[in-house]
Amino acid sequence: MFKNRVLNSALFVLALIILGALTGIYTSDYYRRADPGNIPGLLWPEPKQLRPFATIDQDQNVFGLDRLQNKWSFVFFGYTHCPDVCPLTMATLDETYRMLQQSGDAEDVQVILVSVDPERDSSEVLKSYTAYFNPGFIGLGGNMSQVESLTRQIGIAWFHHEQDAEGNYLVDHSASIFLIDPQARLLAVFGAPHDDAEIRKRFRDIRDFYRDNS
């Protein structure tokens, strides 16, 4: 009888050990799948959900939260008079987008320039500027309040320098590219300097991770 109790106890302990091991394997596998690993810039597990906003696009239409839904949006904050960072970043985004198109990965992708100089960047100016880099790109502006309805949510700050004698001025702003997911959440930030091949790789990794964990 005693031996039976000892044997039963040993079997029970062994069963607990096996159950614990199996649970550990399952749990570790779950967190491995839910863990972004080494994807730089991915804001996980709590991406910021954007709230309703209202800007004006290059065709003078209202552009709000609904136009981010069901799209992957590469968003850059700059301005058309920018002498260096903006044209370089827009050219990189154009190369990124074209290569994604060639590989069949751009069907649900849009590229957006949000002006931090809305006084000079009218819809007409934005349309000409974005089309120079890619006719499919979107330019957003409006009045200052409309632009800030988006920039404040993402935490974008900018600074207008003093005007020179000809009325020209520079604007300090972020050089990062922001990735918004199809649920209109700020999911990743790509810091400068930008490389189109690296952006494409990280985007594909992020999209695969999103599909597995959304």
Distance, first Cα to last Cα, the chain: 55
- H helices present in 35-140, as ranges: 85-102, 123-133
Please, are residues 89 and 177 in contact by the beta-carbon 8 Å criterion?
yes
Q: Residue 56: name the closest of 48, 68, 64 by CA.
A: 64
pLDDT surpasses 60 at 83: yes
Q: Within 10 Å of residue 51's Cβ, how many Cβ atoms?
A: 11
Measure the CA angle with vertex 88, ends 209 and 159; round to 5°.
95
What is the value of pTM for the model shown?
A: 0.82
Query: Mean of the per-residue pLDDT values for the chain?
Result: 86
Write the DSSP symbol of residue 45. S
Cα–Cα distance between 63 and 55 in angstroms, integer? 5
For 41-75, what is each residue's pLDDT tens digit?
Answer: 999 888 999 999 999 999 999 999 999 999 999 99
pLDDT at 167: 85
pLDDT at 213: 82
Please, are residues 147 and 140 in contact by the beta-carbon 8 Å criterion?
yes
How large a percentage of the chain has pLDDT more than 70?
Answer: 83
Say how many residues make up the chain.
214
